[in-house]
């Protein structure tokens, strides 16, 4: 009798879980899943219409031909979190689990198992009586793998940055782009491009 009662109670909820209503946007399917928007939050559905990743407000939108919505590339989706007024980027997997902690000042979608990110470096310069800790921040443009490990540095010299919500209102630009599986194009300060082989 107990088993029958449990089944009777569960069946109506299973039907409700399969119905999503009042959605503001539904993206095309990409890699077997589609982004759905409700209010200011996004989630992902599977091809059977079930909610694969619950609605959340940290998914980063990718500009496509028709619209802007979160997207999975190589089983990774960009997320962004604010810390002390500065936005940091990371990635989740298709289970909605954070697999690369938001620690980058900017990040691209993955392509062929790699992504381009701006890796922040904190340099402790010392301390004095006026300021307890004197630090310097800079970043490097790097290629990471799907686990967040650095594969290759794309710039030799670090780029200095003032890490403050007052000075860093938008993410610094990524100046490199993948042009093939083995090549990357890097834009210089003179707006000229150089091509570099990916290690």
Tell me the pLDDT tens digit for each residue of 154-189: 998 999 998 888 888 889 999 999 999 999 999 988
Would you say residue 8 lies in a domain?
Answer: yes
Would you say residue 53 lies in a domain?
Answer: yes
Q: What is the mean pLDDT of residues 124-143?
A: 79
Would you say residue 28 lies in a domain?
Answer: yes
Would you say residue 116 lies in a domain?
Answer: no
Would you say residue 39 lies in a domain?
Answer: yes
Query: Which pLDDT value is given to residue 18?
Result: 58
Q: Where are the beta strands (DSSP E) in 7-113?
A: 25-26, 33-38, 41-46, 51-56, 62-63, 68-69, 77-83, 86-92, 98-107
Q: pLDDT grade, residue 130 (50/70/90)? A: low
Query: Which pLDDT value is given to residue 67?
Result: 92
Would you say residue 16 lies in a domain?
Answer: yes
Query: What residues are paired with 79 via a beta bridge?
Result: 59, 90
The model's pTM? 0.84
Query: Which pLDDT value is given to residue 66?
Result: 82
Query: Which pLDDT value is given to residue 152?
Result: 96
pLDDT tens digits for 14-38? 444 457 888 999 999 988 899 999 9
Would you say residue 37 lies in a domain?
Answer: yes
Instruction: Report whether pLDDT(103) > 60.
Output: yes
Domain that holds residue 41: 1-57
Instruction: Report whether pLDDT(13) > 50.
Output: no
- In Å, how far are 88, 153, 159, 172 from 165, measured between CA atoms? 12, 26, 18, 13
Instruction: Report whether pLDDT(8) > 50.
Output: no
What's the number of domains the chain is made of? 1
Would you say residue 51 lies in a domain?
Answer: yes
């Amino acid at each position: 009798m107990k088993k029958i009662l449990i089944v009777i109670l569960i069946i109506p909820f299973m039907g409700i879980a399969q119905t999503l209503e009042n959605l503001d946007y539904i993206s095309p399917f990409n890699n077997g899943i589609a982004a759905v928007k409700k209010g200011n939050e996004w989630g992902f559905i599977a091809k059977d219409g079930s909610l694969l990743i619950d609605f959340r407000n940290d998914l980063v939108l990718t500009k496509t031909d028709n619209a802007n919505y979160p997207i999975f590339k190589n089983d990774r989706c960009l997320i962004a979190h604010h810390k002390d007024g500065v936005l940091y980027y990371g990635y989740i997997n298709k289970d909605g689990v954070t697999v690369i902690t938001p620690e980058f000042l900017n990040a691209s979608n993955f392509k062929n198992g790699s992504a381009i990110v701006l890796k922040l470096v904190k340099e402790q310069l010392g301390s004095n009586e006026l300021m307890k800790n004197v630090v310097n921040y800079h970043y490097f443009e790097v290629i990471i793998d799907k686990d967040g490990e650095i594969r290759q540095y794309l710039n030799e010299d670090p780029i200095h940055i003032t890490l403050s919500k007052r000075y860093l209102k938008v993410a610094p630009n990524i100046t490199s782009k993948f042009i093939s599986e083995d090549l990357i194009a890097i834009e210089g300060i003179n707006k000229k491009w150089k091509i570099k082989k990916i290690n």
